[in-house]
Amino acid sequence: MESKYIIPASNISEGVEFFLRGAKKRRSMAIASVRQINSDIGVNLKLISAK
């Protein structure tokens, strides 16, 4: 007899995965924006993001 339940690949819900994916995208866009602004004004910093 087959089980009707699907075993999830992870314990993170789809809503949380969606939220985290958006957060990663916003963080990468913010870092790219800061790098662009710094290069425009001639500042050369090494950015390190804390997770």
How close are the terminal C-alpha atoms of the chain, in Å? 45
Q: What residues have CB less than 8 Å from 34, skipping those under 6 apart?
A: 47
Q: How would residue 3 be classed by pLDDT, with cut points 50, 70 and 90?
A: low
pTM of the model: 0.57
Cβ atoms 35, 47 nearer than 8 A: yes
Say yes or no to pLDDT of 20 above 80.
yes
Q: Which two tokens stand for residue 3?
A: 């089980």
Instruction: Spell out the residues 6+ positions from residue 45 whose beta carbon is closer than 8 angstroms to its own.
Output: 38
Q: Is 22 helix (H, G, I), strand (E, B) or coil?
A: helix
pLDDT digits (tens, 9 = 90+) for 29-46: 998 998 898 888 887 766
